[in-house]
Chains A and B, each alone.
Chain A
């Protein structure tokens, strides 16, 4: 039996080890916003539904920390996220929504079906806010401090395990 016949198996074992090691490491491929630590850019969005006010960057500088949730009624993960936003609201968080490329009637239908955790929702037809604060998709959630600075970015839908993290971030800011 020739030792050379074992070479392919050994090489493959090396590949397996490497791939296994890589798989076991936590991934960090998130596209993090460069805006973290910066002030919100200026924007004024008209209301996305008739029963809630719109959103403007000026509102964030009143000393109260808030969550800024980027979402859309056409986004499936946003449906999964809705109950967690509800829990955040129950924990005392103030949540401001920005609906991306949406229609008022769709926004209203979504809120009716999946609950309404928002104090205000602005309609962002041109993805102006989304691009301005460096978000790369829906849903995304930003923690904004009392001076209107972006403190933390959560990419993707908020899951149950993320709720305490966000509550803690808000708590540290005195919210």
Chain B
């Protein structure tokens, strides 16, 4: 019964999305005379959000009670699983995650319908209509080809379980976080389409879109950061970024959203970069969808791809054609009539932001090309995989100049400026980079890229605070603080990445119980190995005494686990975290003569990668709070003004 309720809610929500598409389109067409029909659009969007939320709640319910007559539960859950993983099993699969996707999209659509009042009503109608159109395609996908509520003819005796790799608290919350990001960008997409339809690309449009982009971007940043940390400690490979198609699928929308964020700021503040902002609005969401397609269609092989199905791939490809193709066609036809807006000099805040935008887009293109390259060559029957040897150096070509301009840009004035005015700051940046290069080159033999990264990160960390110079700190707008924190976060993450790649030490040792080995400043003793059991796995657990530089030893307990539903082996690494880095320990097999394989890494300052990511997201939150508070204040001011005028008239 519960599953049927969920399914019914989903059909109703789909019908409302169709209604929203229709009334919005009719209202745009009718213009002034369409007020009556236009009045239907917002309530339809809100109700659609409520129904989709209800459907998702029903899915959570059948997973919570492990209703094995529902096919999705039987193939992805198990009665022995802890409750939290039963719930996360609801979205740890294709159908459930698509339902989560639609739910977030519908809730976001309902929210703009409820609160967004800045846009001209016609643009708003076009936006909601576009949002309904996009949602409708995903409802069709769910209902026609990926029904999450499908029943089994005969209820299963027991569930198949969940991929043990996914049974982890980090991964339970990583996909929803990313989805909030992906789907938040669908709002930016709908805004862009709405503005193209009514040809009203204005600063107001940019300020209306900006909080949504900021919100989506914060979630994406957090999702990518969490995903990277998860891959790092769960997969037991000791790395934090693998340029896997699935990872790239989240990085590409982030790059586009970062560019969009900056270009929307230019549009909101200076009424420039109109066509470019629209373009990025379309591209950002397109990247979310292309990523989804690549991951789910199975045309690319990845370590953590979803169950693949060409039929589903065809469906998503069709949606891509409809939405992205449609939006790009609209762009090609209409963007020419959207004039470029105010002009500006190269040496100006806008100039720096344009440069940053171009570099971000180039990086995006590089990542996209690298991700699609195997697909391209496979068309000619050559199987290749493109990895770090391509992405790292080629990406650096665009990222390094971008980081340099990122240090300078915020110091420049809007519209027109000269580098002469900030010559002291420029000299400071140059000196810092030079000092960093010399310092780190003296420390040891470091490859060029990590060396550049280390030197740049120091300079960036200092310059990210320069925009605060000469301001009264208490009166500085929160949004400026947001920018400072986010840019500082980039510097922190960059230092972590460069340090990890420059200074990491690895040791693969086979040791008997009681024997000692060394990695970096750590002395490691294997104290014992014992079998342990969890709720649905058994494991061998190593007890390792690790002492840093002769200090008090800490006990680490890495495990090699065996899950039985489905049978799979995983390695649970164990980390010892210090302020200056992490020791990473993995236990392998017994090598026969009583010796155990230990894989150990000492990674100086590696944790800064993720602290940096969190700082970047925090910067986004501050900017969002600043913008929203500003809007509320402005709205209150306008209301008071109107009240006063009304009093004056009376």
Contact = CB atoms under 8 A, between A and B. Distances in A.
Interface stretch (B57-65, B297-305, B459-467): B297-305
Which of B157, B275, B333, B372 gathers the greatest number of chain A CB atoms within 10 Å? B157
Interface string A63-83: 000000000001110010000
Interface string B307-341: 01010011001001100110011011101100000
Nearest to A109: B157
Interface string A125-153: 00100000000000000000000000000
B114 to A, nearest CB: 33
A107 B578 CA distance: 51
B192 to A, nearest CB: 12
A23 B567 contact: no
Contacts of A1: 333, 336
Given A9-B325, A75-B160, A19 B299 contact: yes
Given A74-B160, A76-B156, A18 B372 contact: yes
Which of A12, A13, A16 gathers the greatest number of chain B CB atoms within 10 Å? A12
A12 B287 CA distance: 11
Nearest to A9: B328
6 tightest CB-CB pairs across the interface, nearest first? Answer: A9-B328, A1-B336, A22-B299, A5-B332, A6-B332, A8-B328
B293 interface: yes
B533 interface: no
Interface in B53-75: 74-75
B317 A20 contact: yes
B627 to A, nearest CB: 28
A101 interface: yes
A2 interface: yes
B376 interface: yes
A100 interface: yes
B171 interface: no
B116 interface: no
Given A16-B320, A29-B298, A74-B158, A23 B313 contact: yes
Contacts of B379: 18, 21-22
Interface residues on A, range: 20 to 34
A34 interface: no
Interface string B138-175: 00000000000000000011101000000000000000
A172 interface: no
A22 B567 contact: no
A27 B566 CA distance: 24
Contacts of A18: 372, 375-376, 379
23 contacts: A2-B336, A5-B275, A5-B336, A6-B332, A8-B282, A8-B283, A12-B324, A15-B372, A16-B321, A18-B376, A19-B293, A19-B297, A19-B299, A19-B375, A20-B317, A21-B379, A22-B378, A23-B299, A27-B298, A74-B158, A76-B75, A76-B160, A101-B564
Nearest to B297: A23
Contacts of B544: none
A100 B566 CA distance: 11
Contacts of B321: 16
B178 interface: no
Interface string A1-45: 110011011001101101111110001010000000000000000
A27 B75 contact: no
B576 interface: no
Contacts of A9: 325, 328-329, 331-332
A151 B152 CA distance: 35
Contacts of A19: 293, 297, 299, 317, 320, 375
Interface of A: 1-2, 5-6, 8-9, 12-13, 15-16, 18-23, 27, 29, 74-76, 79, 100-101, 109, 127
B47 interface: no
Contacts of B329: 9
A114 to B, nearest CB: 10
A95 B116 CA distance: 66
B255 to A, nearest CB: 16
Interface residues of B, number: 42
A5 B274 CA distance: 13
A132 B134 CA distance: 50
B359 interface: no
B312 to A, nearest CB: 10
Contact of A5 (B160, B320, B331, B565): B331
A1 B325 CA distance: 19
Contacts of A15: 290, 372
A74 B156 CA distance: 9
B201 interface: no
A122 to B, nearest CB: 16
A23 B336 contact: no
A88 to B, nearest CB: 22
B441 to A, nearest CB: 41
B556 interface: no
B279 interface: yes
Nearest to A127: B567
Which of A16, A20, A27, A76 gathers the greatest number of chain B CB atoms within 10 Å? A76
Contacts of A76: 74-75, 156, 160
Contact of B314 (A23, A27, A29, A127): A23
Interface string B264-275: 000000000001
Given A29-B298, A76-B156, A100 B567 contact: yes
A13 B564 contact: no
A15 B566 CA distance: 37
Contacts of B299: 19, 22-23
A14 to B, nearest CB: 10
A79 to B, nearest CB: 8
Interface in B551-568: 564-567
A79 B152 CA distance: 12
B324 to A, nearest CB: 6
Which of A6, A9, A20, A127 gathers the greatest number of chain B CB atoms within 10 Å? A9
Interface string B368-403: 000010011011000000000000000000000000
Contacts of A101: 564, 567
Contacts of A16: 317, 320-321, 325
Nearest to B320: A16
Which of A2, A16, A74 gathers the greatest number of chain B CB atoms within 10 Å? A74
A13 B329 CA distance: 11
A75 B161 CA distance: 10
A90 B160 CA distance: 29
Nearest to B279: A8
B325 A5 contact: no
Given A8-B332, A20-B317, A23-B297, 12 more contacts: A5-B331, A15-B290, A18-B376, A18-B379, A19-B299, A23-B314, A27-B310, A29-B308, A74-B158, A74-B565, A76-B75, A127-B567
A67 to B, nearest CB: 22
A74 B160 CA distance: 7
A28 B275 CA distance: 43
Contacts of B290: 15
Contacts of A29: 298, 301, 308
Contacts of B310: 23, 27
Contacts of B158: 74
B289 to A, nearest CB: 11
A16 B318 CA distance: 9
A127 B563 CA distance: 13
A173 B422 CA distance: 84
